[in-house]
Amino acid sequence: MSSDFLTVEGLSKSFNPSKPVFANVDFGIARGEFVCIIGHSGCGKTTILNVLAGLDAASSGVVIMDGREVVGPSLERGVVFQSHALMPWLSVRSNIAFAVQSKWPDWSKADVNAQVEKFVSMVGLSHAIEKKPSELSGGMKQRVGIARAFAIQPKMLLLDEPFGALDALTRGTIQDELIQIVKATQQTVFMITHDVDEAILLADKIILMRNATETNAGFTPGGIAEVVMNPLPALRKRADLHHLDGYYDLRNHIVDFLVGHGLSISH
């Protein structure tokens, strides 16, 4: 039995039974580990994340988290998508309080508010806590989504390209905030990204995923091509990344994989 906090074994997904999108996907995530997955559009990354979240079912295989099989959605897993999915009629405070009350229905209003304010402060939005989503920028909305996910103190956080629609400066700022919150909470994270430097900055481990292919020799399902351990120092900052020994070797290795598999590269 694996000692990993989360174990994925034999995961496959088919819409056409004779041509699975991916097959025989196996990997583990240790408690407190930050894992990024990179690969082609269409290789099944989001499907895997949705299976981990309990929002989709695999065609075969199993996901075990903390000793129990994942069979449906649960507040033990927090999910942040590229679209913030906030309720537009509620303030920042109320959007997050709704999630907190769902997790801890017996909590007093004071306890709920204390939890909300703690995580709103962590993402630097205390000044906007009474504002509604229509009054916030795109980056601020994503911060609210991140605060909401952390506020329910999930056992695992699942991030589906949460910064993909943001400008570079905002993206960098929120990356730095995410690093600080993950360190403070010892959160276990699984994240999809197309940005190589984002993966190198954030991840302890990077999963490279290949697409399904069809040639004259026959059909090959997509799957994991390689799992790359990040050799860079654990305490790293975005501004210093390119000065670290091993950075260019790691980046070139990932880029070579992506270019070799026909994916455009984010810089």
Place of tokens 């007093």: 108
Of 14-18, 23-27, 62-66, 122-126, least confident by mean pLDDT is 14-18
Q: How many structural domains compose the chain?
A: 1
Please write the tens of the pLDDT for every residue from 6-36: 999 999 998 887 888 899 999 999 999 999 9
Q: Is 261 within a domain?
A: no
Report yes or no on 130 lying in a domain: yes
Query: Is 214 within a domain?
Result: no
More confident residue, 98 or 84: 98
Residue with tokens 């699975």: 20
| Cβ-Cβ contacts under 8 Å for 124 (sequence gap 6 or more) | 143, 177
pLDDT at 262: 52
> Where are the extended beta strands (E) located within the chain?
6-13, 22-29, 34-39, 60-65, 68-69, 77-80, 156-160, 188-192, 205-210, 213-215, 218-220, 223-229
- Please report whether residue 22 resides in a domain: no
Both tokens of 165, joined, read: 């629609």
Residue 147 lies in a domain: yes
Which range marks the domain in which residue 108 is found?
Answer: 86-153
Residue 249 structure tokens: 């070797």
Residue 131 lies in a domain: yes
Provide the CA 243 distance to its chain's centre, in angstroms. 26
- Global pTM? 0.90
How does pLDDT run across 234-252, given as a tens digit for each residue?
A: 888 888 888 999 999 999 9
Distance CA 116, CA 126 (A): 10
Q: Which structure tokens are listed for 264?
A: 């455009």
39 within domain boundaries:
no
* Helix axes 138-151 and 109-122, enclosed angle (nearest 10): 130
| Residue 128 falls inside a structural domain | yes
